[in-house]
Amino acid sequence: MIYTVNGPIEKDKMGITLSHEHFKWETDSSYAHKLYFDRDYDDEKTNINFELLIPVLKDLYANSCRTIVETSPPIGGQNIKLLRKLSLESGVNIIPCTGWNLSKYTQRIHSNNFAKELAFQWIKDFQEGLDTIDGINIKPGYIKLLLDRGDFSTVDQEMVRAAVMASKETAMPIHCHILEAEMLYSVIDLLEEENLDLSKFLWAHASKEGDFDAINYGVDKGIWIGFDMIREGTYEKNFELISKAIKLGFEDKVLLSQDYDFYEQAVEHNNPQSCVSFFTKFIPYCYNYGMSENIIDKMITENPANFYDF
């Protein structure tokens, strides 16, 4: 099943999917914590954000988008109530997550059982749901992690361990932000040490450095690859990355998306059109340069359906 804010759906109902977008990153961390831990929503704020974001969602629907993966983890203020309202009104499925939910410094205090306790929380999020709204128990569709740049820190290692434990227990896949290709090798070492089925792991932002040594290494191990920062101004680079993946024969392991923050684009930058540019500009660009429609279609329908289904 695919776990959305309107409850579970069959994978063939997912349709065309943007696999990595943000609705509104919440910079007020105490509000983000209230949303996650207390399910305490500021309804006025939710309604205002709904009005600001609904045109974007409707525009995405009009441009054939049927599912969006919300990649703001609990610490980024994932607002389940807002996502559900947007989904119901627009017809776009939205997949929420559990995952990174507290200051990484917490690990220094709870160093003995950190991974286990964190995993316990994520398992609970799946079993009990992130919230129950209008009688619908809303379960997370995956685990979202963000690893910091630089060394693979102790806390990030512990977070990955926790995600492996929670994934094994619930079957949730792991969607992991890694900006520096060099780090992938140590992450995979750890995943192998913990015996994770590597097809449960997605390397988000693999396109950032486009390092094909690391990408090939990951693909050979069985992980999924995110070319997920396809924003205006990056089309040439992303076209080349996708072409290379096709040439190397792993187009069935690639997920595509824009990694926009819809609120930031539509409200702060007053550029709501950018949120649909994947459909209005990038796809036409690919066709124009000879890429097969079938392959792009597969990357935005079958691939996400295969990764997110459990």
- Interacting residue ranges for Zn ion, rule: CB under 5 A: 71, 259
Shortest Å distance, C-beta 207 to Zn ion: 12
Pairing status of strand 201-204 against strand 174-177: parallel
Output the smallest distance, CB 208 to Zn ion, in A.
11
Nearer to Zn ion, 99 or 218 (CB): 99
Shortest Å distance, C-beta 137 to Zn ion: 26
Please, which residue, 19 or 167, has the CB nearer to Zn ion? 19
Residue of minimal Cβ distance to Zn ion: 259
Q: How far is the CB of 266 from Zn ion (least distance, A)?
A: 16
23 or 152, CB closer to Zn ion? 23
Closest distance of CB 117 from Zn ion, Å: 26
CB of 98 to Zn ion, least distance (A): 16
Q: Which is nearer to Zn ion, 158 or 259 (CB)?
A: 259
Nearer to Zn ion (CB atom), residue 71 or residue 301? 71
Which of 71/303 has CB closer to Zn ion? 71
Q: What would the DSSP string read from start to end of the chain?
A: -EEEBTEEE-GGG--SEEEEEBS-----HHHHHIIIII----HHHHHHHHHHHHHHHHHHHHTT--EEEE---GGGT--HHHHHHHHHHH--EEE--EE--S-TTHHHHSTTTHHHHHHHHHHHHHHH-SEEETTEEE--SSEEEEPPSSS--HHHHHHHHHHHHHHHHH---EEEE---GGGHHHHHHHHHHTT--GGGEEEETTTTT--HHHHHHHHHHT-EEEE----TT-HHHHHHHHHHHHHHT-GGGEEE----BHHIIIIIS--GGGGGHIIIIIHHHHHHTT--HHHHHHHHTHHHHHHH--
Spatial strand order in the sheet of 67-70: 17-21, 67-70, 93-95
By beta-carbon proximity to Zn ion, the closer residue of 133 and 226 is 226
Q: How far is the CB of 74 from Zn ion (least distance, A)?
A: 14
